[in-house]
Amino acid sequence: KRNPEKARAVAAGRTCMWPVGDPKQPGFHFCGQVVAPNKPYCEAHCAVAYHKRAVDAA
């Protein structure tokens, strides 16, 4: 099934750059999903890459 949003993201260079696999092995690629706003990764990979800092109780 064709995804017009993903097609526009690919054309604009706005696809997730999360590496998948071993760069030295065949099949290595980047995620390629549509990125989250103002981020280099999709929502799923942002959840892995960015952790909210715990607020210290003072």
Each domain of the chain, given as residue ranges in start order, spans 4-49
Tokens (6 digits) for 29: 């690629």
- pLDDT tens for 1-50 read 667 776 676 667 789 999 999 999 999 999 999 999 999 999 999 999 98
| pLDDT of 23 | 93
| pLDDT of 54 | 73
CB atoms within 10 A of CB 14: 17
| pLDDT of 7 | 67
